[in-house]
Every structure is written in C-alpha cells, then in structure tokens.
Structure 1
Amino acid sequence: MQLKKGEKKSDVGRRLKLNQSTVTTIWKNKETIMQAALEGKSPKKLRKPKFEELDQAMLSWFNYRLQNNVPILGPTVKAKAGKFAEQLGVINFKASEGWLGKFNHHHKTTYVYERRGAGC
C-alpha cells in the first residue's frame, strides 16, 4: 500500500473500499506484513491468539499426547482448555466448538481417534 505525498489514509480507504482503521492498521504493520508475504506466510498467522499463554499450553499438551499416541478427542481438548484457563487465571474463556475449530485451524492439528468396540 503506497500513500502518495499528501494523501490521507481516509482517501486511500475510500479508493480501496477499506475502513480507515483497516488502512491505519495495515500501515502501522506494513513491515511485518511485507516480511510475512516474502516468507510465504498467511497474514492470518500474524494475528496472535486472544489467550496466548493458554494457546501455548494447549499446543504443548496436544503435541505431547500426539507424540505418545494418546487418543485426542474434541471434548477432551475442550475440557483440558477449560482446566488450563482456570489454572492460568484466564477470565471469560469458553472452550466452545468455535474456539476448538479456530485452535485446530490455526495449528493445523490432527486428531488421533480412540477406536471403539471389539474388532476395530
């Protein structure tokens, strides 16, 4: 995004059909965004999770279980997230299906499902 000399961010926003706050955010983070683009990273990967410490704890827990071939199920992940949130003093956290989907998408997690029944 280039600003012409004397051009206002609001004018750029109108020209590109973007909100002025979006233009300001892009302008403020332009170096980081450009570096990510050069490295082939998704701009969404630049966004940090809302509860970063919880996210890191969950990722470590998830990877440990995965490496040890321990079954991982959605309800188990959500329950553990709730416990970690409580231990970390995270307020207003809900381990919802939406949270689980974002966690899985962000980390490209793969589940190891528990086999049920005889002969499976």
Structure 2
Amino acid sequence: MKTLGEYIRELREKNDFSLREFAKRLNLSAPFVSDIELGRRYPSEDVLEKIAEALGISAEELRSYDTRVPISELKKLAKSSPAYGIALRKLADKKISPEEIIRIAEKKEKGHKEED
C-alpha cells in the first residue's frame, strides 16, 4: 500500500502540477510539501483539506492512506502503561531527534522480521 505522501505525489503528478506550483496553490513552501510527500512530515487537518481540494478528491480518501496510529490510540496506550510516557520523556531529555527514534524503531522492526 502507498503511503500518504506517495499518494499525494502520484495525484499531484497526474494533475501535472510541479512541486513548486502545487505548493503555491496550497500557500505552502515547496520544501514543506516535499517533506509531506517523502513522509518526513504529516499535514495538519487544515492542510490535508487544502491538499484534497487542490487534487479534486475528498480529505477522507487521503486520510485512508495515513497509516499512523491515531492520537487517541497513543493516549490510551500511554494511560494504560505510564512506561511509554517515561520512555518518551527520556528520549526528549536526551535530545534524541525524531529521525533517530524512527531509525531505532525501523532497525528493531527489521531485526524482528529476520527472526521470523
């Protein structure tokens, strides 16, 4: 399945919009839109609505490509096990970047796949 960013890029290209042109239509910077397409950032609800409108599709269709765990689920997880909150605070205190946390998680996930 495509990621949200991949799907946005695919639709942008089908509509024959350059990255800069598309960003201008959205009143956003091209680097920000590029980061969304590359999965480095996720759009807010307002930006998602703008993107959907510019691409001529529903925001709900775009949301179906967002594979992140919903915030409500993360909050439930943190409430059920305070260790998650403590772990996140330790990461933040040590100034570990989000990118590094993602690399650690991906490395861990890769290790589990090799064990299977």
Q: TM-score, normalised by structure 2?
A: 0.29
Greater C-alpha radius of gyration: 1
Which structure features the higher share of helix residues? Answer: 2
Q: TM-score, normalised by structure 1?
A: 0.29
